[in-house]
Amino acid sequence: MLKFATALAAAGLLVSSMSTSVSAQPTTPVHDGAPVVRVASPPKSVKPQFKRQRVRLVTNETPGTIIIDTNNKFLYLVETKNRATRYGIGVGREGFGWSGVVKIGRKAEWPTWTPPAEMRVREAAKGHIIPAFQEGGEDNPLGARAMYLYKGGRDTIFRIHGTNQPWTIGLNMSSGCIRMMNKDVIELYDRAPVGTKVIVIGPGNKQGEISFEDRGIDVLRTLFGG
């Protein structure tokens, strides 16, 4: 039993993957009699719970389906009725969340980026000038891979894609697209063909009824494979 517990600890499995950490609030410094407001910088590393895991997922969705839980920042690739691979994601910031049932309409490796005109106007109003077009590559916001989400045969303008800002995983920072770490989006890209059903759970419940339960890390499969 001790050896098994040691193995679990080495694999980082003794701590629940769904747990969150709470840190004490720093005291607010005072300058010239007035408090100084400091804007917190985004974390520069991905929290452990958002790293790729094999989990026990109970669902009636068929193997190969992608379930995106934007509330908890997880993407699941269903493998059986009791198993899935779980990936941490970044999702839309306030006002940019959405829900629905879509499909992967096309895919691209090291995709180019053509931001929507409304995004360029919106960002320009904030003093951020973004290009009308950007070639694919390590500096491209879409990262290493992109899976374009379609509904009724039409592009929704939303994508599952990589990112050159991995510290945004687990946060609400996008304009509605689903961000993944590059190493994760590459793996998902290889496993999810065009036509894959994608269920996005978010504001409005437009995805309809969906049943799934994340029962945590699949310990045996994580340690021994299979």
Residues 6+ apart with CB under 8 A from 59: 65, 67, 78, 81, 84, 211, 212, 213
Taking the CB of residue 79, how many other CB atoms lie within 10 A of it?
Answer: 18
Residue with tokens 């040691």: 6
Cβ proximity of 88 and 17 under 8 Å: no
Q: Cα separation of 147 and 197, whole Å?
A: 12
Q: Which residues are catalytic?
A: 161, 177
Region label for 116, one of left (φ > 0), alpha (ψ between -120 and 50) or beta (otherwise): beta
Q: Which amino acid is at 33?
A: G
Cβ proximity of 89 and 73 under 8 Å: yes
